[in-house]
Structure 1
């Protein structure tokens, strides 16, 4: 009586085995064809093609390395700024001569953190988006549409989004007296550099061009040049309460926009571990939080006088703590499952919740400033 069942199960395994064999054959067929074709070529052609293959293998090995190893990734990177307790605003005198003339002023922590984050993105790590293999994709398919090699690029782009916003505020308001004095040229050059295409390589559609990392390195030099001038009391940092309110408004708006992007992806798919677009959304938002944690910590230092006068120390400390706690969410694989699922978590929903918590704390600080 068991023979029909045994025969049925045997046939099932035979069919599965044939299916696997067929799939493997389809995958290996192009390589077998190339191997046969290559074996019939001449010595010179073999050498040229072999060299090309070696170069490609080397490039992909390097690409794999730089996308999987994140150098100097450290969510606690603003710790040195957090340890500063003196409520002195950036640009205020910290040293005078015998005639009480200022000889040195406090540099901007916002400018310093911005320069350090750019350095982290393009010097301590390779800038992924402009690498030729990143642009080539997976057999022409963009990496962000696959489960491979796009997490670090998305993280870097999230940081860069914050840096573009921050340098714009430095140029338009923070680096000018009441937003009406002359624009500082170093800050303007830094903003222009960061506006460069994020995926530029040596050759573009219009011919030779400058790769993104080399342009962004100019922004590092310009931000540090601005801080050097500020330390000599030669330029301005306008650390007023209304400027801080406007800066916080911009940050809250930026975070709110990203939370909407996450919500749209949650509504578009509930494929769990198999949503290949969820990881780049998650790591872009994570990069934003990573950068804003440093920028907000730096803002407490730069606007120390305002924060002390408005008794914002406790609220600001809670804002920093919430920002830092959100960075502890580092899942190995990103899942975009249903929010009510017991088996497929929704990491995008978790990240969206953390973003909105940070935004709520920013709005609370802003409301106190506006009283």
Structure 2
């Protein structure tokens, strides 16, 4: 600034500092405004979500590839049960109970992964012996969703842990982009889409979120898309979850769709909740091939969202029949088989479900 006379130089410097500070202040105010706006939307989500236990019919699928080759496929029609967001084990508060399940054979590469996973678990827990398969991936899918409600962007207490950027998409829909400031409890990045008039969330798309992979015995980074529906009473209900991850040579694609919006509020005892969680993790494969024709429209819709990755169901029909009537998996722990441990539960599960729905 040598060309500026000395007596004006300080005024010019002060002017530029004021302009710069004003722009910084405006940006800071915009960030604060975006965060406050986001808090209103997230708080509204928590206020409009059902807080009491409920149940509804759902369809679930998962598909694995290892090194770009088919490794495993499972799908099922069943019941999605919410034990309530305040259930003592937060990640287990959503459970899926299969009624008609199709399970394919597992590839040799899959079995090798399970074997290595067992070896790693034995190193940490000597009482653990071996397992015939990993837990149903629907457990992991629902856990991933609950993580974004507990340690992620759908928890209003976490709003300060994210950078927010509010955008207007249309006359009816707004978008809020978010990204974690730190990776302390997990990294989340994506967008929340919500109704402009009601502030009720329509969907949340995460390009990066926290998954747990049993094949890797640890946390992996994946993606997730969650869709909601609004009831006439202004409540927010879960409509669909789709997600997956790619870790080393393993690729997962999974999803769950509500078959209708007819959620029923239910009352559960502590023992019933524990039984439902146990059965969701160690179910029996009950396969009825005739019923699957009733879900052709749903299956076509699923395949449409997954491009051409899903296998030919007709080709897998013999494998589905082979697993019919057998436990989904068996785990030996302290020398005790889970099939033996839950033998009584397998006999009682139909009665438990009937009592829950008949008494509510």
TM-score (norm 2): 0.27
Task: Kindly name which structure, 1 or 2, has the bigger radius of gyration based on alpha carbons.
Answer: 1
- In terms of fraction of residues, the more helix-rich structure is 1
TM-score (norm 1): 0.27
